[in-house]
A and B are shown apart, each in its own frame.
Chain A
C-alpha cells in the first residue's frame, strides 16, 4: 500500500519532524511505502503529482492548518493531532489500511474526505476552539505588515504635511496635491505622498483580514469570497468586526460547498470558477443587505442620539465617547463618535473643542496600551504581535487607532473590553481637565495647538495604564487555565496548571 502524509506543528521545528519519522518507521515496519511532506521551518519538499495519484490513503498529523489540502481530495483521509502520530504511529498506519480498504474504488474528485472511515472520525484533529484560533491568527498574521507599513506612512504624512492633509473629508488635501503633479521641493507634497501611499495600504486591512481567515479555513477557493466580503465591509462601513464576520462566513460557506457531490464534469471547474463565483455572490449579498443596512441605520441612530446629548454632563459624555472610540477602531461606532466630534468643529464652541480633544485622546489609547502590554508581559503575545507592538507606539501617538486591530482581532473578548475601559477613563479625564483641540487629527503632533496639553497627555497616560493592566490581567487569567484543547489525545486533563505570578502592573494615575 502507498500512503502520503503531511505533518505540521505550530513552531515547525520539532513535532513536525518527530511525527514524520515515527510515521516512516511505522509504515516501513508494516510493509508499506509512505511519503511524508513536512510543512515545517526547514522547508518542505512538496509531494509530487505522481505520489499523490498513486497513493491509497492520506494522513494529516497537524496542529495547524495543512497547506493546499485540495491535493488530497481524492483520498481517504485520517486527520489527527501531531502528538498522536508521535506516540501512536503504528495504530494510525493500521487505520489508514482500513480506510483504504473501505474506500470506494473511484472516489469522485472534488469531494474531500468523502471516504473517511467511521473509526477515524471520532477524536481526530485539534479541538474546535484551537482551530478557530488558528484561522483567526492566519488572518491576523497577514494583516500586521499592512498595519505597520500603512500606519507608519500615514504618521509620516501627518508629520510632514500637517493635520490638514486629509481634510476636508470629501476632497482631501493630499489628493488635491497629488493630482496637481508632484512637487519634489515641497515638504507638504512629500507628506501628501506618504499619506496617499499609507491610505492605500490601509484600505487593504479589512479585506486581507477577511480573505486570509477564509483562506485558512477552506484554502484557495475561499480567498475570493473572503476578500470580496472584506471589501464590502469597508464600503458599508462595517469595519474590522464586519471583516471578521465576512471572513468566517466565507470560509464556512466554502467548506460546506466543498462537501457537495457534484457531477464529474463540474468537479474540475469547482475550485476555479464555481466556488468563488457562488460564494462571493452569497457573501457579498449578506454583507451588503443583512450586515450593511443595519450598520448604516445604527450609525445614523448613534449620531442623532449623540446630537441629542448636547446638554449632558461633560465628563459622562467624555466617558461615553471614549467607550465608542475604542469599540471597533475605524468601524461604525468609532466613526459615529469621531464624526460627532469633527462636526462640532465647524461651529467651534468651547464644548465642541473639549469633545474633540476627548475623542482624539481616547482614540490614541488602544495602540498605546497594546504596545505597552507587549513590553510588560512578552510571554502573553506571539512573536508577530510583539513586532506589531513596536509599530503601535508610533501609531498610537499619531492617533491611528487601527494599530490595535491585529490585537483586537486575535483576541476580541479580552482586548476590546480592556481598551474600551481605558478609552472611557481617558475620555472622561480629558473632559474633566478641560483640554481643548481645534484640529481633527494629528495625535502628539498637534499638542502645541491644544488648550491644557498636559491635562490631555495625563488623560492619555492614565487610560493607557488602565487598558494595559486589564488586558494583561485578562490574558494571564486565560493563560493559566489548563487548555481544554491541549491535546487531541486527551492531554487536557494532565496539562500542568501554570504558575504565572499574578499581573502586578501598578496603576499610578
Chain B
C-alpha cells in the first residue's frame, strides 16, 4: 500500500478542467483516466455499476460536491478520481450543481484493510477545509498530493 502504483490517487487521476456537459460526461471522463491508469479493467461495466448506484439515490451533496461511487468487479484497487468543474455538474443535490467531483471506485471483493482508505477519504469530504484546499489547488499534482497526504494521516 506504500508504492505509488497503489496510492489512492495520483496526479494523472485528477482533472481540474472536468468536461461538464452533464453527469455522465463528467463521470466518463474521470473513469477513462482510471482505465488508462490500469485501475479499472472494463469501462462499460464500471460505468454501469456507477449508474446503478446513482439510480438508487443521486450522490450529489449540499456544498457543491458529487460523489459517484460503486463497488465493482471491474475495479482492481481502491481508487479516487478527482475532477473540478468551473460551471458545475448536476449530481442531484438540492442546493445545485457540484464543482468538486469525487469518483470513488472500490473493488467488489475488497477486504476491510483496503476499504479503510476509502472510509478515511469519506470522512474528509465533510470537512470544509478539505474542500476549500481543493478549490484553490493550482495544478493536478498539488491536488493529488494533498488528498493522498490527508487520507494517509
Q: How many residues of B are in contact with the other chain, CB < 8 A? A: 42
In this assembly, does A300 line the interface, its C-beta being within 8 Å of a C-beta of chain B?
no
- Bitwise, A380-409 to B at CB < 8 A (1) or not (0) is 111100000000000000000000000000
A-B pairs with beta carbons under 8 Å apart, 30 shown = A10-B56, A11-B53, A13-B71, A13-B118, A17-B120, A17-B122, A17-B123, A18-B61, A21-B123, A41-B118, A42-B112, A42-B115, A378-B45, A378-B48, A379-B48, A379-B51, A381-B52, A383-B49, A383-B71, A383-B73, A483-B55, A483-B56, A486-B92, A487-B57, A494-B94, A495-B58, A496-B23, A496-B58, A496-B92, A499-B24
- Beyond contacts A20-B123, A379-B52: 10 other A-B pairs, Cβ-Cβ < 8 A, are A11-B71, A13-B106, A17-B118, A25-B127, A42-B119, A87-B62, A383-B72, A479-B55, A494-B94, A495-B58
> Do the beta carbons of B126 and A22 come within 8 Å of each other?
yes
- Which residues of A are found within 8 Å of B44, using beta-carbon distances? 378
> Do the beta carbons of A10 and B125 come within 8 Å of each other?
no
Interface centre among B49, B108, B122 (most CB of A within 10 A): B122
- Which residues of B are found within 8 Å of A382, using beta-carbon distances? 52
Nearest residue (CB) in B for A500 is B51
- Our pick among B73, B110, B124, B127 for the contact of A41 (Cβ within 8 Å) is B110
Nearest residue (CB) in B for A87 is B62
- Which residues of A are found within 8 Å of B58, using beta-carbon distances? 486-487, 491, 494-496
Cα of A379 to Cα of B67 in the assembled complex, Å: 18
In this assembly, does B39 line the interface, its C-beta being within 8 Å of a C-beta of chain A?
no
A residues bordering B, Cβ < 8 Å? 10-18, 20-22, 25, 38, 40-43, 63, 83, 86-87, 378-383, 479, 483, 486-487, 489-491, 494-496, 498-499
Cα of A136 to Cα of B104 in the assembled complex, Å: 27
- Which residues of A are found within 8 Å of B92, using beta-carbon distances? 486, 491, 494-496
In this assembly, does B84 line the interface, its C-beta being within 8 Å of a C-beta of chain A?
no
Q: How far is the CB of A382 from chain B (nearest CB, A)?
A: 7
> Do the beta carbons of A491 and B104 come within 8 Å of each other?
no
Interface centre among B44, B72, B104, B118 (most CB of A within 10 A): B118
- Which residues of B are found within 8 Å of A18, using beta-carbon distances? 61, 122-123, 125-126
Nearest residue (CB) in B for A490 is B94
Nearest residue (CB) in B for A383 is B108
Q: How far is the CB of B70 from chain A (nearest CB, A)?
A: 6
Nearest residue (CB) in A for B47 is A379
> Do the beta carbons of B57 and A63 come within 8 Å of each other?
yes
Q: How far is the CB of B115 from chain A (nearest CB, A)?
A: 4
Nearest residue (CB) in A for B22 is A499
Q: How far is the CB of B43 from chain A (nearest CB, A)?
A: 12
- Which residues of A are found within 8 Å of B126, using beta-carbon distances? 18, 21-22, 25, 86
Cα of A219 to Cα of B127 in the assembled complex, Å: 35
> Do the beta carbons of A498 and B55 come within 8 Å of each other?
yes
- Our pick among B52, B72, B118, B127 for the contact of A42 (Cβ within 8 Å) is B118
Interface centre among A18, A43, A86 (most CB of B within 10 A): A18
> Do the beta carbons of B127 and A21 come within 8 Å of each other?
yes
Q: How far is the CB of A42 from chain B (nearest CB, A)?
A: 4
Q: How far is the CB of A456 from chain B (nearest CB, A)?
A: 34
Interface centre among A380, A490, A496, A498 (most CB of B within 10 A): A496
> Do the beta carbons of B23 and A41 come within 8 Å of each other?
no
Cα of A16 to Cα of B70 in the assembled complex, Å: 13
- Bitwise, B98-122 to A at CB < 8 A (1) or not (0) is 0000001010101010011011101
Cα of A131 to Cα of B59 in the assembled complex, Å: 19
Nearest residue (CB) in B for A40 is B119
- Which residues of B are found within 8 Å of A17, using beta-carbon distances? 118-120, 122-123
Given A41-B106, A486-B58, A491-B58, verify A14-B122 contact (CB < 8 Å). Answer: yes
Cα of A483 to Cα of B94 in the assembled complex, Å: 14
> Do the beta carbons of A14 and B104 come within 8 Å of each other?
yes
- Which residues of B are found within 8 Å of A12, using beta-carbon distances? 71
Given A42-B115, A42-B116, A379-B48, verify A489-B122 contact (CB < 8 Å). Answer: no
- Which residues of B are found within 8 Å of A494, using beta-carbon distances? 58, 92-94
In this assembly, does B15 line the interface, its C-beta being within 8 Å of a C-beta of chain A?
no
- Which residues of A are found within 8 Å of B70, using beta-carbon distances? 11
Q: How far is the CB of B75 from chain A (nearest CB, A)?
A: 11
- Which residues of A are found within 8 Å of B94, using beta-carbon distances? 489-491, 494
Cα of A494 to Cα of B44 in the assembled complex, Å: 27
Q: How far is the CB of A368 from chain B (nearest CB, A)?
A: 21
Q: How far is the CB of A490 from chain B (nearest CB, A)?
A: 7
Q: How far is the CB of A302 from chain B (nearest CB, A)?
A: 39
Cα of A63 to Cα of B67 in the assembled complex, Å: 16
Cα of A22 to Cα of B65 in the assembled complex, Å: 15
Nearest residue (CB) in B for A479 is B55
- Which residues of B are found within 8 Å of A479, using beta-carbon distances? 55
- Which residues of A are found within 8 Å of B59, using beta-carbon distances? 14
- Which residues of A are found within 8 Å of B73, using beta-carbon distances? 383
Q: How far is the CB of A211 from chain B (nearest CB, A)?
A: 25
Cα of A499 to Cα of B90 in the assembled complex, Å: 13
Q: How far is the CB of A39 from chain B (nearest CB, A)?
A: 12
- Which residues of A are found within 8 Å of B69, using beta-carbon distances? 11, 13-14
- Which residues of B are found within 8 Å of A380, using beta-carbon distances? 52
Cα of A486 to Cα of B120 in the assembled complex, Å: 26
- Our pick among B56, B57, B67, B115 for the contact of A40 (Cβ within 8 Å) is B115
- Which residues of A are found within 8 Å of B119, using beta-carbon distances? 13, 16-17, 38, 40, 42
Q: How far is the CB of B64 from chain A (nearest CB, A)?
A: 12
Cα of A63 to Cα of B58 in the assembled complex, Å: 13
- Which residues of A are found within 8 Å of B56, using beta-carbon distances? 10, 483
Nearest residue (CB) in B for A9 is B57
